[in-house]
Amino acid sequence: MELDLNIAKSILLSVLLGFSIGLQREISFALREENITFTGARSFAIISLLGVLAAYFKANFIWITIVITFIFGALLISSFIIRVLRHEKSGSTTEFAAIAAFLIGMIVYDGLYLFATFTTVIVIFILDIRSNILQLADKTTNKDLHSMVLFLLITFIILPILPNHTIDPYQIINPYFIWMMVVLISGLSFAGYIAARLIGVSRGIMVAGFFGGFLSSTATTITFSKKVDEQNKTTRHLASAIALACTTMYIRIIIVSAFIDIGIALKLLPAYLLATITGYMCVYYLYKHSEKCSIDVDFMYQNPLDLKEALKFGLLFGIVFGVTTLLKDWTGALGVYISSLLSGVSDVDAITLSLSTLYREGNLMLYTALIGIVIATFSNSLTKLAIAYTTGNKVLGNYLSIALGIPLTTIIIVLSIQELLL
């Protein structure tokens, strides 16, 4: 009897994926100098293979599948009991990983190779961030926990009960849609906050600058501008961190627009991606030619989730969306550009969401939406330059004029080329 090629592929892939999970477990236990029972790479490879066998027999010999699953479950429970008896403290992460390995074997047999591989990567990632999670737990405050509860509240309690229809005479304001945008921006900022806590921005000012671009590049600009010394020894270093935050904002703009309409995000991608690259090159130059110094970055540990801030953004977005829609109806593209210029002074997210939504609904031409987002980007960058010159000093402002001016110029050039080619 010839071995089916697909079955052979399933066996080999399942063994490889199971082995990868087991290897992570084995290395993890070795680093913690803990004894292991069945948690080695070979054991996990066999567990995934058992998953393939269980899936193979389920069509014609379901009783064999049941027996395999029962034996696997019994061994798993026995191993957990033994570990509990041997150790005063014993988690169940390894047992859950073993269950995942078994199910991955079954998925592989069904031919979902990419899904199985992706699942394995996610499992290994979750297993591997144990130390980071413990570090995060040690630093988590009651306010952080309250913020997490608040995010769940605004997402799963408040959002579903809001009316999903317009409530104003102009048929513009939709409470459900506005609050959904609040959830989106709050979630994005909170994800950046969690990532910053896991990695630890106290490792350096550049790490703080990078995550500042996802949390609030304006707040980062204000905070670092205040740290400029009279002798300008730290100015170039501070400029590199501020420029990094402002450049990373371009990535945030692409992500925000993609949540609303992938089409407009793809149109923005070439210009904003190249602007990000050129901006990072400027950051690298400033950083390499700066005098390295120790600068306090504890401010980055402020949780971005706050009910007051959520309400403020909801109000801001509602105003920006409403005003932009009305100006577009009354004055056409010029009104959109005026709204973009004014709203970009304080925030780019609100106008990016508004223009992306108007484009998705067919109420705005693509070119007008793109130009509006670019205008808001320029307006926001000019605001940060003004902050650098006034809150910091002239030297800081001059550095940032170049570091921000080059990527902004890149955006204009790339979009102009795109327009000529269309």
Q: Looking at the predicted structure, is the pLDDT value of residue 26 above 80?
A: no
Region 199-228: mean pLDDT is: 79
The proportion of the chain whose per-residue pLDDT surpasses 70, expressed as a percent, equals 83
Distance of CA 420 to the CA centre of its chain: 33
Buried b / exposed e across 365-394, counting CB within 10 Å, b at 16+? eeebbbbbbbbbbbbbbebbbebbbebbbe
Region 52-64: mean pLDDT is: 83
Q: Which single residue is written with the structure tokens 């350096």?
A: 204
Buried b / exposed e across 301-334, counting CB within 10 Å, b at 16+? bebbbeeeebeebbebbbebbbbbbebbeeeebe
- Model confidence at 199, pLDDT cuts 50, 70, 90, reads low
Using H for helix, E for strand and C for coil, what is the string for 271-295?
Answer: HHHHHHHHHHHHHHHHHHCCCCCCC
Give, in degrees to the nearest 5, the angle at Cα 352 between 154 and 257: 80
pLDDT per residue as tens digits for the range 63-87: 888 888 888 888 878 877 777 676 6
Give, in degrees to the nearest 5, the angle at Cα 170 between 168 and 172: 70
- Model confidence at 136, pLDDT cuts 50, 70, 90, reads low
More confident: 295 or 101: 101
More confident: 214 or 279: 279
Average pLDDT of the chain to the nearest whole number: 82
Q: Which two tokens stand for residue 11?
A: 């066996």
pLDDT of residue 403: 95
Buried b / exposed e across 241-266, counting CB within 10 Å, b at 16+? bbbbbbbbbbbbbbebbbbbbeebbe
Domain residue ranges in the chain = 5-128, 140-421
Q: Looking at the predicted structure, is the pLDDT value of residue 135 above 80?
A: no
The CA-atom distances, in angstroms, between 64 and each of 15, 51, 71, 107, 207 are 20, 12, 11, 18, 54
Q: Which residues contact 344 (CB under 8 A, 6 or more apart)?
A: 351, 375, 376, 377, 378, 379, 380, 383
pLDDT of residue 215: 80
Phi, psi of 173 (to 5 degrees): -85, 115
Q: Which of 13, 47, 44 is nearest to 27 (CA)?
A: 44
Region 319-335: mean pLDDT is: 91
Contact 375, 340 (CB under 8 A): yes
Q: Looking at the predicted structure, is the pLDDT value of residue 147 above 90?
A: no
Long-range contacts of 83-86 (CB under 8 A, 24+ apart): 83/37, 86/35
pLDDT per residue as tens digits for the range 364-392: 999 999 999 999 999 999 999 999 999 99
Buried b / exposed e across 155-177, counting CB within 10 Å, b at 16+? beebbeeeeeeeeeeeebbbbeb
pLDDT of residue 109: 85
- Model confidence at 4, pLDDT cuts 50, 70, 90, reads low
Most confident of 29-33, 47-51, 273-277: 273-277
Region 269-276: mean pLDDT is: 95
The proportion of the chain whose per-residue pLDDT surpasses 90, expressed as a percent, equals 30
pLDDT of residue 385: 95
Distance of CA 203 to the CA centre of its chain: 20
pLDDT of residue 354: 94
Q: Which two tokens stand for residue 419?
A: 């327009």
Instruction: Report how far residue 187's alpha carbon sits from residue 159's, in angstroms, rounded to the nearest whole number.
Output: 14
Instruction: Report how far residue 378's alpha carbon sits from residue 340's, in angstroms, rounded to the nearest whole number.
Output: 10
pTM summary value:
0.69
pLDDT of residue 5: 72
- Model confidence at 212, pLDDT cuts 50, 70, 90, reads confident
More confident: 404 or 37: 404
Locate the DSSP E strands across 320-422: none
Q: Looking at the predicted structure, is the pLDDT value of residue 134 above 70?
A: no
Distance of CA 225 to the CA centre of its chain: 26
pLDDT of residue 165: 84
pLDDT of residue 143: 64
Instruction: Report how far residue 106's alpha carbon sits from residue 65's, in angstroms, rounded to the nearest whole number.
Output: 11
Q: Looking at the predicted structure, is the pLDDT value of residue 1 above 50?
A: no
- Model confidence at 133, pLDDT cuts 50, 70, 90, reads low
Q: Looking at the predicted structure, is the pLDDT value of residue 197 above 80?
A: no
